Structure 1
Amino acid sequence: MDLNNIQRVYFIGIGGIGMSAIARYFNENGVTVSGYDRTSTVLTRQLEAEGMQIHYTDDINLLDPQASLVVYTPAIPALHTELKWYREKGYEVVKRSDVLQEITRELFAITVAGTHGKTTISTMIAHILRHSGYGCNAFLGGISVNYDRNFWSSDKRVAVIEADEYDRSFLKLSPDIAVLTAMDPDHLDIYGTEQDMQEAFIQYTKNIKPNGTLIAREGLQRAADLQGSNQLTYSLQSFTANAYAANIRIQQGGYQYDVVQQNWRLDNVTLPIGGLHNIENSVAAITVAQLLGISEEAIKAAVADFKGIRRRFEYVINNDYQVFIDDYAHHPEELRALISSARNLFPDKQCTVVFQPHLYSRTRDLADGFAESLALADEVILLPIYPARELPIEGVTSELIAGKIKDKPVRILQQEEVLDWLKGNSAPLFITAGAGDIDLMKEPARTILEGKKVTTAE
C-alpha cells in the first residue's frame, strides 16, 4: 500500500473516532474521501462540512466504484453489503490499522497503548508538540477540546498515534517511542484470557524500532518481559520511577506540581483539568516532550493551556453550586480513578454516579470490579447495558453489578428516568460515565442542573 499514490479512498464506518481521524488525514492530503456510516452524528456532519461525501444506507448504488483504497472498521459486520461488494470485485480492502501501519513506517512514530489513559496521553503529547511549534500529525481516539479535532496535520514528519488494543490492531504499528499505560484485563471476548492479553502488550513493545524507547507506567505486571532498546518508567508519585510528580497542590479544579526525572526537573507545572490520574498522564507526555528536546518553558506553557478531551473528566458544570463531570470511563480501574479523583477535588459534595455498562461480555467478566469502584460514590444509578456489537448474554444485566454493591443506594433506570430523578433530587457532585450513548444525557442534564443553580442563587 503506497499512501502517496492514492487518489480516492472509501471508508466503511467513517464516523468512528479512529476512522474519522484517518479520513481527515487523506482529505487534508488532497485525496477524494467518501464513505458510509450507520447514523448521522456531529462528527460525520463535520466531515461532510470538510468536503467528504457520506451516506447512511448500506447500498452499493451509493458507494464509490472508483475508489483505489477501501478502509473498514472491525466493528462493521462481515456480511455488510458494501464491504462484500468491494471484496468480491477485488478492490484493495484494509482495516484502519493497516493504514496506521504504513504511517508508522514512513514517519517518526510516537504511539500510546494501554487499557486506559491512552487517549489522554496521546492528546497531551500531540498538544505539547503543536503548541510548542515542534509539530506533528495527530491521530487521536478522542476530540481535543483545544482544537475540537481528533486529527491535525503538520509538515513535520512525526506522528502521534493512539494504539488501540481492540482486535489486536496495535500490533501492526512500529513506533520510535512507545508509551504503555496499563495491561489490565479487557476485551476478553477477543483475547480469551488475561495472560493472552498481556502477551499482546509485550509483543507491542517488541515492535519498537531499533534504538527506540519504551516509556512504561511503573508497576506493570510482567514488566521484566517488556522490550525496547531504551526503557523508562513513569508514575504518579513513586520516586523509584524514572519520572514522577511531586509537591502536588489542588488549584481551581486542577493542579500544580513538579515533574521530577533523573538529572532533570520541571517545577510548578500547572494542569487545568481534574483527576490525579491526569497528573500521571501528563508525566508520561512531558517525558516524551523532554526526549524530543522541547524546552522546559514551552512544555509548561503547553500543559497550562491543555483543556482536555471531550468526555475525559470533562467539566460540564463547575461552580460553587454544582459540579457535573462527564467521562468515557468503561473499565473498573477507569471508574476508580474518576470517582476517587472527583471526591479528592470536591470532598464536601455528595457524589452521585450514573454509569452505563458497555458490552455484555465486559460486564460479565468485570462485574466485581465495577461494583467495587462504583461503591466509592455516595449513590449509584445504573443504566441498562449498552450492547454495541454484542448480542445479549443470558443472566448478564445491570442487576449483576447492582447486586454486588453493598450499603449504598443503587437504582437501575432508563436515561429519561434519570433526568426525571434529577429534577427532584439534589446532586451536588454529579458524574455520568460510560462508553455507550450516555453522552446523549449531557445537554438535558446540564439544562436541569443549571436551572437549579439559578433557583439556588435567587
Structure 2
Amino acid sequence: MDSDKIYHFVGIKGTGMSAMALILNDRGDKVQGSDIEKYSFTQKGLEDAGITILPFNESNIKEGQIVIAGNSFNDDHPEIKKAREMGLTVYRYHEFLGKLIQNTISIGIAGTHGKTSTTGLLAHVLSGVSATDYLIGDGTGKGVPDAKFFVYEADEYRRHFVATSPDYAIMTNIDFDHPDYYKDEADVVSAFQTFANQVKKGIVAWGDDKNLRKLTSSAPIYYYGLNETDDFRAINVQRTTNGSKFNVVYKGKDLGEFSIPLFGEHSVLNALAVIAVSYFEHVDIEKIKSELLTFKGVKRRFSEKKVKDITIIDDYAHHPSEIKATLDAARQEYPDKKIVAVFQPHTFSRTLALMDGFVSSLSLADKVFLTNIYSSPREKSGNVSSEDIVNKIGNNSEIITVDNLTSLLDFKDAVVIFMGAGDIQKYEDAYIEQLNANH
C-alpha cells in the first residue's frame, strides 16, 4: 500500500476497523485513528501496537492522509466531511477491505453467525503453516511480510461483503437477522447469492442450511456437515468435557481423526469448514491436525474465567441460533452444573423480529436473567421490552439491573453465561465485584 501516506481511521475502535488498522501498522504503514473516548475492548491491541487514538475532531484530518471511514458513521460526520472537502481519498471500511485482500489467496468467512470463531480458527491453522494476514471480527488483525493467505470476516450487514471478491468463501449459515436493514429472509439470501457470484475458486458451505443449499455459483460449492449428503463429513463424533474428536471423510476417503479443544456441535462444524479449505490448498493433513489442537479461541466467544466457585463465560451471542450454540457448548463442558444465562437483547427491531426464537433458545438454560434491551444509535425506542421475553419464558426467568444482582448472587458452584452484543460486560463486571465482596 502507500507507505508514505498516513492512514486515518474514523471510528478506529470498531472491531473490523481496529483489526484493519493493526494489519496496516504491521505492514509498516503509518496509522492513526479517532473514536469516542469510552473504553472499548479493542483498544488494548491498538495501544500495544503504538497506534495513536484521538478524540473525534475535524482538526485530525490533514493533507496527505488516506481516510478510512467506519461504517457506523454517516457522510455528515465532521471528519469525513472535512476529508471530502479537502479532496482526500476516502474509503469506506468494506471498500478498503476489497483492496487489502488483493495479491493473496483470500478466504472470506460469511454467515449470520459463526463468522468470528471460524475466521479465528482458520487464521490460526493457516498461520501455523504459511505467512497469513488475517482480519477477525473480535478486533484482532495481523499483517505479515509476503503473506500467502488473507483470512477475513465477510460481514453481510448492509451487504458490505459484496465489496470483496475472495478466492474462497466459507458460509456457515443464512438466518434472518439485521431486521433494521434486511426486509426478510429472502432478502438476506439474495445478498449471499451476490457474494457467491463473486467467489473465484470454491465455496465451502454448511450442508444442513436450506438457504445455503439454494445458492448457485460458477465456483464449485462443497458442503460440510454430519450427513451422507455432505462432501466433507464428520463421523464418529465424540464430545467430552475436554473437547471434541471426530473423523473426517471427503467423498468417501477417510482423512483421519481430528481433535479440537472446543465445545458444542457448532465447533465441530466450524473445524470441518477450516479442514476443507486447508485441504483444497494442499496443506499437510498432519499439520492441520496439530494446529487445531492448539487453538485458544477468539475474544468474546465463550471466554471463560473462574471467580470463587462460579465459572463465568462471556459470549457475544445475540441471535437465537448463537444462544442455542453457546448453551449447547456449556452443557458439553459442564454436564453436572447449573447453567445460568444472563442475556442483554440487542436492538428493539431484532428483539421484536426474533422474539419466539429468543424464548425457545434461552429456555435451554436452567435459569434466565434478562437486562433491558440495548438500543443502538440506529434506533432509539421500540414497542417491545425484555419483560415480553420474561412473560413468555415464565417462572424460570426475571429482569435484573446492574444495581440489583441479588438473585444472580444466590447461585453456588454454577456456570453463569453473560451474552450480548451491547454493554453486557458492565453487568459481568458488577457481578464479579460483588462475588468477590460477598465471600
Question: Residue in 2 aligned with 1:213?
Answer: 202
Distance in 2 between the 1:186 and 1:427 partners?
35
Match of residue 142, structure 1, among 138, 143, 149:
138
Distance in 2 between the 1:66 and 1:405 partners?
57
Query: What TM-score results when the alignment is normalised by the length of structure 1?
Result: 0.89
Once the two structures are aligned, what percentage of the paired residues are identical?
Answer: 32
Contact 1:34 1:64 in 2 (8 A): no
Question: Residue in 2 aligned with 1:198?
Answer: 189
Question: Residue in 2 aligned with 1:168?
Answer: 159
Distance in 2 between the 1:52 and 1:296 partners?
38
**One-letter code of the match for 2:370?**
L
Alignment deviations for residues 273-330 of structure 1 (CA, whole Å, 9 cap, x no partner): 22221111111011111111111211111111011112212222399x5432221100
Alpha-carbon offset, residue 46 of structure 1: 3.3
Range with bigger deviation, 259-268 or 441-450: 441-450
Distance in 2 between the 1:381 and 1:127 partners?
34
Question: Residue in 2 aligned with 1:280?
Answer: 269
Contact 2:24 2:143 in 1 (8 A): no
Alignment deviations for residues 87-130 of structure 1 (CA, whole Å, 9 cap, x no partner): 22222211111111112333221111010111111111110011
Match of residue 68, structure 1, among 53, 65, 84:
65
Contact 2:66 2:90 in 1 (8 A): yes
Question: Residue in 1 aligned with 2:46?
Answer: 47
Contact 1:216 1:232 in 2 (8 A): yes
**One-letter code of the match for 2:125?**
I
Question: Residue in 2 aligned with 1:338?
Answer: 326
Question: Residue in 2 aligned with 1:226?
Answer: 216
Question: Residue in 2 aligned with 1:432?
Answer: 418
Alpha-carbon offset, residue 135 of structure 1: 2.3
**One-letter code of the match for 2:315?**
D
What SS is found at the alignment partner of 1:247? strand
Range with bigger deviation, 363-372 or 4-13: 4-13
Q: Does 1:15 align with 2:10?
A: no
Contact 1:141 1:162 in 2 (8 A): yes
What SS is found at the alignment partner of 1:175? coil
Query: What TM-score results when the alignment is normalised by the length of structure 2?
Result: 0.93
The count of residues paired between Structure 1 and Structure 2 equals 437
Distance in 2 between the 1:173 and 1:311 partners?
26
Distance in 1 between the 2:366 and 2:295 partners?
30
Contact 2:130 2:148 in 1 (8 A): no
Distance in 1 between the 2:112 and 2:193 partners?
13
Distance in 2 between the 1:266 and 1:347 partners?
30
Instruction: Rate the CA distance shift 1:349–1:240 in 2: closer, same or farther, 3 A.
Output: same
Distance in 1 between the 2:300 and 2:264 partners?
13
Alpha-carbon offset, residue 73 of structure 1: 1.1
Instruction: Rate the CA distance shift 1:339–1:49 in 2: closer, same or farther, 3 A.
Output: closer
Contact 1:361 1:393 in 2 (8 A): no
Alpha-carbon offset, residue 444 of structure 1: 4.9
Alpha-carbon offset, residue 175 of structure 1: 1.0
**One-letter code of the match for 1:374?**
L
Alpha-carbon offset, residue 36 of structure 1: 0.6
**One-letter code of the match for 1:22?**
M
Alpha-carbon offset, residue 204 of structure 1: 0.7
Runs of at least 4 residues off by over 4 Å: 446-452
Instruction: Rate the CA distance shift 1:103–1:324 in 2: closer, same or farther, 3 A.
Output: same
Alpha-carbon offset, residue 337 of structure 1: 1.3
Range with bigger deviation, 251-260 or 352-361: 251-260
Match of residue 256, structure 1, among 245, 248, 251:
245
What SS is found at the alignment partner of 1:288? helix
What SS is found at the alignment partner of 2:262? coil
Instruction: Rate the CA distance shift 1:265–1:443 in 2: closer, same or farther, 3 A.
Output: farther
What SS is found at the alignment partner of 2:117? helix
Distance in 2 between the 1:19 and 1:152 partners?
14
Alpha-carbon offset, residue 405 of structure 1: 1.4
Alpha-carbon offset, residue 427 of structure 1: 5.9
Match of residue 86, structure 2, among 79, 84, 89:
89
Distance in 2 between the 1:416 and 1:300 partners?
47
Instruction: Rate the CA distance shift 1:125–1:10 in 2: closer, same or farther, 3 A.
Output: same
Q: How does 1:287-298 map to 2 (within 5 A)?
A: 287-298=276-287
Question: Residue in 2 aligned with 1:125?
Answer: 122
Range with bigger deviation, 255-264 or 170-179: 255-264
Q: Does 1:409 align with 2:396?
A: yes
What SS is found at the alignment partner of 1:415? coil
Task: Name structure 2 gaps, 5 residues minimum.
Answer: none
Question: Residue in 1 aligned with 2:110?
Answer: 113
Distance in 2 between the 1:6 and 1:119 partners?
32
Distance in 1 between the 2:20 and 2:313 partners?
29
